[in-house]
Structure 1
Amino acid sequence: MPSGPTRPAAHAARALSFNAAAAQYAANRPSYPPALFDTIEELTGRPLAGSRVVDVGAGTGIATARLHARGADVIAVEPGAGMAAEFRRTLPGVSIVRGDGNALPLGGHCADLLTYAQAWHWTDPALAVPEALRVLRPGGALALWWNTSALDVPWIAAAAERADRHFGLDISAEQQNIDARVADPAGRLGFTHRDVRWSRRVPLATHLANLGSHSVFLTDTEERRAAFLAEERGHLLTLFPDGIVEETYDARLLLATTPPTSGPSTTHRAPGPETA
């Protein structure tokens, strides 16, 4: 990302950009593999089924749907009106409240698991870490994860280089520099790191629409965005002449648990004052 005084403004613009493209996001973004949720259960030592989970930065509900399908009692938190509207359309039976990780609209010690799928980098860890510790029950866990491009796959690395050149950003580094030091600069949490490799086969149109749903594309001009995607389509048709693209990801998971206590914890079920 750019350095200097323009970075906060650019970061904020990118964070807000998804609301105008929520349907595109929901239809084309990749989901997450079952092995990721198996790993969360392994590291926390408890099943998702029956756990109270708060999915923060839930967006259109891609991760929320997977958590719900595993039997978790999920409440979603989402700051964006456009994303929340798409969430309500696709997951009408799951509760969602408006808010973000810097100031969660939830009572204390109400969650067994707090999850951020593709969302922690939009928070300020100096605020979000204390909020996570406030909301989690003793012995609860904070799980952060991202689908990162598998840059050891040659065609994916070449495509990433083309995008970096086009935008004048090191997008690849943004994805790869996801670690405990960046997620929690103050070192208040002891994260465990796991990577889960997975892939999906999608039509070329879906792949390009997935690319176009990322914030660097959404904040670019329509002309530049269209030109890049048209050129990228030509590159990929030489590699995938049947029009089916195999995307490969490393789902990068950071998970930290809070210390258990011997005494009972207080449960707060109220989702907060503003329902999305």
Structure 2
Amino acid sequence: MTTVSRAHSFNAAAAQYAANRPSYPPALIDAVEALAGRPLAGACVADVGAGTGIATALLHARGAHVVAVEPGEGMAVAFRQTLPAVPIVRADGNALPFTDASLDLLTYAQSWHWTTPERSAPEAMRVLRPGGTLALWWNISALDVPWISAQQERIARHVGENGPTQRPDEARAIELSGLADLPGRGDVTLRHIRWSRRVPLETHLANIGSHSAFLVLDQADAEAFLAEERARLSELFPDGTVEETYLVELLTTTRT
């Protein structure tokens, strides 16, 4: 299954994504402000790969003048229903619809890996003002929690991917991001922010099912896996509430 097919798979499941995917902790937005060296209030911001608006809503709530960028029609429809007052444009990170040096902050929440860094990284430097900040982040399952690590192993086996690994160190994370040799950038900073949420078991399972690796599976195959997970987790969490634990991996750099 191609990366493009997996990326497009979100459009048919936008409502499921919006209802069940985790958001991000306030500490993440605090860290973005601190690393940017300015408050979000009044800042000109673009949130790229905005999806249904999970991260955009947090930026907007801090007072940013934010524009969402989203290539998928299904996700854009869900975004407009959730955040009707926030502008959204149909584009992607490889060709941003903004003039040179027009943004204070450019964010990619769970979306940088869907771009081509050879194109998206120079685009980021183009649209940022001098001193402006590029912030990339992802929610990553906390593998030091035994039941989470075991579940991630089962998921990887089922969808035919490599099993979970420890997160790379700062140098390797920067290299993997495609920012290592980017002209016009300042230092790249890596931060990890741990947080958790307590959700009903069905929300947890729907969250798993909203990931692209499951969306492209045969429906019966995906449902069979989730039924097995329901049985396992019902024993672990007999009250029907699951505590999901995450590390937000945050990479930031500035335009010099």
Shorter-chain TM-score category? over 0.9
| Residue 66, structure 1, aligned to residue 63, structure 2 | no
TM-score by length of structure 1 reads 0.88
User: Which deviates more from structure 2 when the two are superposed, residues 183-192 or residues 83-92?
Assistant: 183-192
Query: Which position in structure 1 is the counterpart of 2:119?
Result: 127
Query: Which position in structure 2 is the counterpart of 1:254?
Result: 251
Kept in 1: contact 2:108–2:136 (CA 8 A):
yes
* 1:68 CA displacement: 0.3
Question: 1:198-209 maps to which residues of 2 (within 5 A)?
Answer: 198-209=195-206
| Residue 182, structure 1, aligned to residue 176, structure 2 | yes
Amino acid at match of 1:150: A
**What SS does the aligned partner of 1:172 have?**
coil
In the alignment, the residues of structure 2 paired with residue 30 and residue 172 of structure 1 have an alpha-carbon distance, to the nearest angstrom, of 19
Kept in 2: contact 1:148–1:176 (CA 8 A):
no
In the alignment, the residues of structure 1 paired with residue 164 and residue 111 of structure 2 have an alpha-carbon distance, to the nearest angstrom, of 17
In the alignment, the residues of structure 2 paired with residue 255 and residue 235 of structure 1 have an alpha-carbon distance, to the nearest angstrom, of 38
In the alignment, the residues of structure 1 paired with residue 232 and residue 120 of structure 2 have an alpha-carbon distance, to the nearest angstrom, of 41
Kept in 1: contact 2:121–2:179 (CA 8 A):
no
Query: Which position in structure 2 is the counterpart of 1:5?
Result: none
Query: Which position in structure 2 is the counterpart of 1:21?
Result: 13
Amino acid at match of 1:83: M
In the alignment, the residues of structure 1 paired with residue 19 and residue 164 of structure 2 have an alpha-carbon distance, to the nearest angstrom, of 23
- Evaluate the alpha carbon distance shift between residue 171 and residue 20 of structure 1 in structure 2; reply closer, same or farther with a 3 A threshold: farther
Query: Which position in structure 2 is the counterpart of 1:165?
Result: 157
In the alignment, the residues of structure 1 paired with residue 131 and residue 86 of structure 2 have an alpha-carbon distance, to the nearest angstrom, of 25
Structural RMSD (CA):
1.3
Q: Between the two proteins, what is the percent identity of the paired residues?
A: 64
**What SS does the aligned partner of 1:179 have?**
helix
Kept in 1: contact 2:133–2:252 (CA 8 A):
yes
Unaligned runs of 5+ in 2: none
Question: 1:105-144 maps to which residues of 2 (within 5 A)?
Answer: 105-144=97-136
TM-score by length of structure 2 reads 0.95
* 1:186 CA displacement: 4.9
The number of equivalent residue pairs is: 250
* 1:20 CA displacement: 0.2
